[in-house]
C-alpha cells in the first residue's frame, strides 16, 4: 500500500510539472538550499537560485519549485515540498564603480514553512534535500556542453532524534556571493564563508558541481534520489583546478576562495560546507556559482611612507608625540592615472585616543605627471604620559575589480603631559551661609586657567538631589577670566533641611584630572504665618451679624498673608436656610482677597435660628496653613412702641440713664435678655427680669436686644447717645 501511494503521489506531481511546461533556458548561475529552525521541529526550507540577467530568459523564472526529501540510508523518497516564490534582488558588486554591463545576477528566493517531526525523521544516517533544474549558462568555459547541463541543488541534515533526545539543527548560512569579475593574471579572492546558528563547526572544500538528471527536453523533472552525476570538465580541468591559474582555484579553512586566473572565460565552481557537532558530521550545504575572468588594465599597488618610499614598510617608523605636537605627515602615491586614494588607520595601545585624518580621499595623477601627496595624520583625545602606541596606516586605491592596499607602520612614543588646575575667585567666601525662606542667593565665580583649557562646572550635595533644588548655573565665557554665576531661591525644596552642604566642582576638559572646588554650608531659617481672616470693621470675636428688615446689608470678609504667599478664600453654608437674595462674591485687591456679602432681609427671612457660613482661607507654601471665620446671620424686626423709649443717655442726669423693658409680659416666664452691638458682639446679658443696662462703657450707637421667654422672643433695638 505504501508503494502504491508513493507512485500515485509521484504521478500526480509529474503530471502537474508537465502542465506547467517550464521553459528551457541557459539561465542558472548557481545557488544553494537552506533549512532554518523557527521553533521546535518547525523549519523554513529555502532554495536560493542565482539567475543570469544578461543571458537568461525571463520566462524561465519558476513561480514555485518542488524539492524532494530523501533518506540517506536507502535513497528513498520521504516527502516532496512545494516552495513558492518569495522574493528577488540583484546581487551587488563589492565596488559599484567597477560594474560592467556583461555581468548582472539576480538572487531568487523560494521558501516554505515545513515540519520535521521525529516520528517521521528518525533514521540515524540522516536525510538530504535535492532539486534538479536545467540549464546552465551556455558560455561557461570549464565544462562540456554547459547549455545542455542542469544543476542539482543539494544539502544534508540530521534526523530529528538520536533515539534518546530531540535533535534540532539549522543549516549553515553562507555569505552572499558577489558578482565581481576576476582579471586575468591578477590575484582574485573573496569570502564565501558563513555562520552556523547552532554554533557547529564548519569545514569548507571544493567539490565537483552536480549535473542531476534534468535535460534540455525535460528541464524541470521530478527530482530523483541520488547518487547524482557530476558535470563533465573540459580536458585538463577538474576539482583541483576548476579555474586554471597560478595559484589555481582553491578554498582555505576560513572559506576564502583564491585564484590568479591565467585564461579569460566564465567558470563554474562548487564549494561544500560541512558542519560538525561534537566531532561528528551532521550535515552539509553545497553552493555553486560562477566567476567571469576578463582582461583588465593593470592595477598597481599604491604606496605610503613617512619620508622615503624606498624604506616604506621595511620597519616601523618611531615618532615622538606630545600634547602640543599631535600631528605628522605621510607621503602617498600611485602610478596609475586618475586614481582615487583613501587613507585609514588602526591605532592600538590607548582606548582614549582616536585617529583624525582631515583629508583622507584624494584623486591623483589627473595629468601627465605622477603625483606624490602629503597627508596629515593627527591624534585626537587624551594622550597618555610615557606610553608606546602602535599605528598602522592603510592606503587603498579604488582599482577594479578589487581595491589594492599598502600599509605603513608606526611606533608612537608619548612624553610627559602636565597640567595646572584652574584658579577660582568667588564673590561670596566659602563657609557657612544663613538664608531665610523665599530668599535669593547669587554666587559669582571668576574662573581662569593657566593653559586656557575649557572648564566645566558641576554641583554635588550629600544632603539633597541637585536636580530637585532649582539651582541654576550661567557661565559667561565672553569675559576674561570668564564668570560662572550660580543662582537659587530658598523654597519648599529646602523646608525639610536644617542645612545643605554644597560643593561646586570646576573641572578642566583635558585628559589629566585637574579640578578645584568651592564648598558652602547653607543654613535655612523657615518662618511662616497662617493667613489672617476677619471682618472689616469688627472685632475678631464678633461672629453674629444682625440685619434689619428691609435695610441693605454689606459685609466684607478679608484674607491676607503676611508672608505674601499665594492665598485662596473659600466658603460654604454650615447652618440654616439661605435667603434667595443673599449673595457672596469674591474680590481681589492688591495682595488680599475679599468675600463681599450683600443682603436685604425680608419679613419672610425672620427666624429664631440664624443661618451660618464658614469662611476658610489657605496659603500655599511649604506648610499650606489655613485659617477660618464662622459668621451667623440673624434678621431682626424692630417694632415701634410709643410707651417704651428706644434710646438712653447714660450721663447721670437722671433722665433715660438706663435701659429696661417695663412692659415685659408674664414676668414669671422670663428667661434671659441679651444685648449686642451692631457687629454681633454680646455687650450685656442678664437672667433678671428687673435688669437695667446703663451702656456699660460701650460707645454711642445702636444696640440690639433679644428678650427670651419660655414660649416667645421679643426683639428690638436701643440707641445710646450721651
Task: Extract the C-alpha cell encoding 154.
Answer: 543539494
Which pLDDT score is estimated for 16? 30
Q: Are 571 and 614 in contact (CB under 8 A)?
A: yes
For residue range 222-246, list pLDDT tens digits in order: 999 999 999 999 999 999 999 999 9
3-state secondary structure 336-384: CCCEEEEEEEEEECCCCEEEECCCCEEEECCCCCCCEEEEEEEEEECCC
DSSP 153-214: EEEEE--SB-SSSB---PPPEEPPP----EETTS-EEEE--EE-TT--EEEEEEEPPB--S-
Residue 271 burial (C-beta neighbours within 10 Å; 0-12, 13-18, 19+):
buried
- Mapped onto helix, strand or coil, the DSSP state of residue 617 is strand
Whether omega before 481 lies within 30 degrees of 0, making that bond cis, reads yes
d(CA 434, CA 321): 52
d(CA 195, CA 199): 8
Which pLDDT score is estimated for 490? 86
Local structure of residue 601 (DSSP, 8 states): -
d(CA 539, CA 709): 29
Please give the average per-residue pLDDT across 134-162, as a whole number: 93
3-state secondary structure 80-128: EEEEEEEEEEECCCCCHHHCCCCCCEEEEEEEEEEECCCCCCCCCCCEE
Average pLDDT, the chain: 84
Please give the average per-residue pLDDT across 640-645, as a whole number: 50
The band of 310, judged by pLDDT with boundaries at 50, 70 and 90, is: very low
| Grid cell 560594474 in the structure block, residue | 99
The band of 514, judged by pLDDT with boundaries at 50, 70 and 90, is: confident
Give the CB-side neighbour count of residue 652, counting CA atoms within 13 A.
1
Which pLDDT score is estimated for 364? 83
Which pLDDT score is estimated for 34? 96
For residue range 6-18, list pLDDT tens digits in order: 332 333 333 333 3
Q: Which of 172, 154, 208 is nearest to 33 (CA)?
A: 154
Query: Using alpha carbons only, what angle is made at residue 406 by residues 402 and 408, rounded to the nearest 5 degrees?
Result: 155
Which pLDDT score is estimated for 281? 96
The H or E element spanning position 7 is: helix 2-20
Q: Is 308's pLDDT higher than 60?
A: no
The band of 319, judged by pLDDT with boundaries at 50, 70 and 90, is: confident
Please give the average per-residue pLDDT across 259-267, as a whole number: 93
pTM of the predicted model over 0.95: no
d(CA 570, CA 533): 11
Q: Is 346's pLDDT higher than 60?
A: yes
pLDDT-above-70 percentage for the chain: 89
Give the CB-side neighbour count of residue 671, counting CA atoms within 13 A.
9
Q: Which of 57, 50, 63 is nearest to 23 (CA)?
A: 57
Q: Is 552's pLDDT higher than 60?
A: yes
The band of 4, judged by pLDDT with boundaries at 50, 70 and 90, is: very low
Collect all residues with Cβ–Cβ distance below 8 Å to 122 and sequence separation of at least 6.
159, 160, 161, 163
3-state helix, strand, coil in the chain (%, to 5): 5, 50, 45
Please give the average per-residue pLDDT across 446-463, as a whole number: 85
The band of 80, judged by pLDDT with boundaries at 50, 70 and 90, is: very high
Q: Is 103's pLDDT higher than 70?
A: yes
Please give the average per-residue pLDDT across 256-264, as a whole number: 92
Q: Which residue has the higher pLDDT, 389 or 113?
A: 113
Neighbouring CB atoms inside 10 A of 301's CB total: 15
| Grid cell 471665620 in the structure block, residue | 629
For residue range 56-66, list pLDDT tens digits in order: 666 667 899 99
Least confident segment among 158-172, 306-320, 403-417, 569-583: 306-320
| Grid cell 434710646 in the structure block, residue | 647
Amino acid at each position: 500500500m505504501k508503494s502504491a501511494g508513493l507512485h500515485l503521489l509521484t504521478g500526480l506531481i509529474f503530471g502537474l510539472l508537465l502542465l506547467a511546461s517550464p521553459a528551457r533556458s541557459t539561465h542558472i548561475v548557481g545557488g544553494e538550499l537552506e533549512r532554518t529552525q523557527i521553533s521546535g521541529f518547525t523549519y523554513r526550507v529555502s532554495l536560493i537560485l542565482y539567475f543570469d540577467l544578461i543571458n537568461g530568459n525571463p520566462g524561465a523564472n519558476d513561480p514555485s519549485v518542488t524539492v524532494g526529501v530523501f533518506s540517506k540510508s536507502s535513497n528513498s523518497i520521504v516527502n516532496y515540498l512545494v516552495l513558492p516564490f518569495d522574493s528577488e534582488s540583484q546581487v551587488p558588486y563589492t565596488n559599484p564603480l567597477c560594474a560592467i554591463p556583461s555581468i548582472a545576477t539576480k538572487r531568487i528566493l523560494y521558501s516554505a514553512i515545513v515540519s520535521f517531526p521525529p516520528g517521521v525523521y528518525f533514521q540515524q544516517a540522516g536525510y538530504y534535500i535535492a532539486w534538479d533544474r536545467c540549464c546552465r549558462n551556455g558560455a561557461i568555459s570549464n565544462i562540456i556542453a554547459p547549455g545542455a547541463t542542469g544543476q542539482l541543488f543539494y544539502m544534508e541534515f540530521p534526523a530529528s532524534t538520536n533515539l534518546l533526545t530531540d535533535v534540532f539543527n539549522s543549516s549553515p548560512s553562507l555569505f552572499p556571493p558577489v558578482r565581481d569579475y576576476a582579471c586575468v593574471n591578477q590575484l582574485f579572492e573573496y569570502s564565501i564563508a558563513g555562520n552556523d546558528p547552532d554554533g557547529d563547526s564548519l569545514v569548507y572544500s571544493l567539490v565537483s558541481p552536480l549535473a542531476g538528471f534534468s535535460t534540455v527536453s525535460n528541464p524541470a523533472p521530478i527530482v530523483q534520489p541520488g547518487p547524482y552525476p557530476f558535470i563533465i570538465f573540459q580536458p585538463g580541468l577538474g576539482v583541483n583546478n576548476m579555474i586554471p591559474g597560478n595559484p589555481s582555484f582553491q578554498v582555505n579553512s576560513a572559506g576564502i576562495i583564491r585564484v590568479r586566473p591565467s585564461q579569460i572565460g566564465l567558470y563554474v565552481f562548487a564549494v561544500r560546507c560541512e558542519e560538525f557537532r561534537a566531532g561528528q558530521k551532521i550535515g552539509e550545504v553545497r553552493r555553486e556559482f560562477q566567476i567571469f575572468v576578463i582582461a583588465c588594465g593593470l592595477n598597481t599597488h599604491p604606496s605610503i611612507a613617512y619620508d622615503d618610499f624606498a624604506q616604506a614598510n621595511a620597519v616601523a617608523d618611531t615618532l615622538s608625540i606630545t600634547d602640543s605636537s599631535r600631528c605628522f605627515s605621510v607621503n602617498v602615491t600611485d602610478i596609475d592615472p586618475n586614481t582615487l586614494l583613501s587613507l585609514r588607520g588602526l591605532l592600538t595601545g590607548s582606548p582614549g585616543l582616536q585617529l583624525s585624518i582631515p583629508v583622507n580621499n584624494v584623486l591623483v595623477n589627473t595629468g601627465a605627471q605622477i603625483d606624490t601627496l602629503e597627508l596629515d595624520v593627527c591624534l585626537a583625545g587624551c594622550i597618555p604620559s610615557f606610553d608606546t602606541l602602535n599605528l598602522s596606516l592603510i592606503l587603498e586605491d579604488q582599482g577594479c575589480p578589487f581595491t589594492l592596499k599598502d600599509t605603513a607602520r608606526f611606533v608612537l612614543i608619548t612624553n610627559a603631559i602636565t597640567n595646572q588646575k584652574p584658579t577660582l575667585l568667588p564673590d561670596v567666601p566659602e563657609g557657612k551661609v544663613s538664608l531665610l525662606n523665599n530668599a535669593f542667593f547669587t554666587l559669582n565665580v571668576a574662573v581662569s586657567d593657566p593653559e586656557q583649557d575649557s572648564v566645566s562646572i558641576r554641583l554635588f550635595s550629600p544632603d539633597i538631589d541637585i536636580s530637585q533644588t532649582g539651582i541654576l548655573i550661567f557661565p559667561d565665557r565672553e569675559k576674561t577670566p570668564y564668570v560662572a554665576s550660580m543662582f537659587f531661591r530658598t523654597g519648599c525644596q529646602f523646608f525639610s533641611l536644617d542645612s545643605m552642604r554644597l560643593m561646586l566642582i570646576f573641572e578642566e576638559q583635558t585628559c589629566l584630572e585637574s579640578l578645584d572646588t568651592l564648598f558652602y554650608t547653607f543654613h535655612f531659617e523657615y518662618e511662616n504665618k497662617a493667613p489672617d481672616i476677619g471682618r472689616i470693621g469688627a472685632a475678631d470675636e464678633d461672629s453674629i451679624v444682625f440685619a434689619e428688615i428691609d435695610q441693605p446689608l454689606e459685609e466684607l470678609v478679608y484674607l491676607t498673608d503676611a508672608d505674601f504667599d499665594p492665598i485662596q478664600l473659600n466658603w460654604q453654608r454650615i447652618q440654616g436656610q439661605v435667603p434667595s437674595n443673599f449673595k457672596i462674591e469674591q474680590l481681589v485687591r492688591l495682595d488680599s482677597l475679599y468675600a463681599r456679602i450683600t443682603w436685604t432681609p425680608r419679613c419672610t427671612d425672620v427666624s429664631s435660628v440664624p443661618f451660618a457660613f464658614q469662611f476658610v482661607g489657605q496659603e500655599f507654601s511649604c506648610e499650606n496653613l489655613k485659617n477660618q471665620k464662622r459668621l451667623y446671620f440673624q434678621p431682626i424686626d424692630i417694632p415701634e412702641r410709643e410707651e417704651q423709649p428706644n434710646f438712653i443717655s447714660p450721663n447721670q442726669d437722671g433722665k433715660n440713664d438706663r435701659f429696661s423693658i417695663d412692659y415685659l409680659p408674664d414676668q414669671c416666664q422670663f428667661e434671659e435678655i441679651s444685648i449686642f452691638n451692631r457687629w454681633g458682639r454680646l455687650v450685656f446679658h442678664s437672667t433678671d427680669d428687673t435688669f437695667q443696662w446703663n451702656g456699660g462703657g460701650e460707645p454711642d450707637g445702636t444696640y440690639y436686644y433679644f428678650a427670651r421667654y419660655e414660649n416667645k422672643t421679643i426683639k428690638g433695638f436701643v440707641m445710646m447717645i450721651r
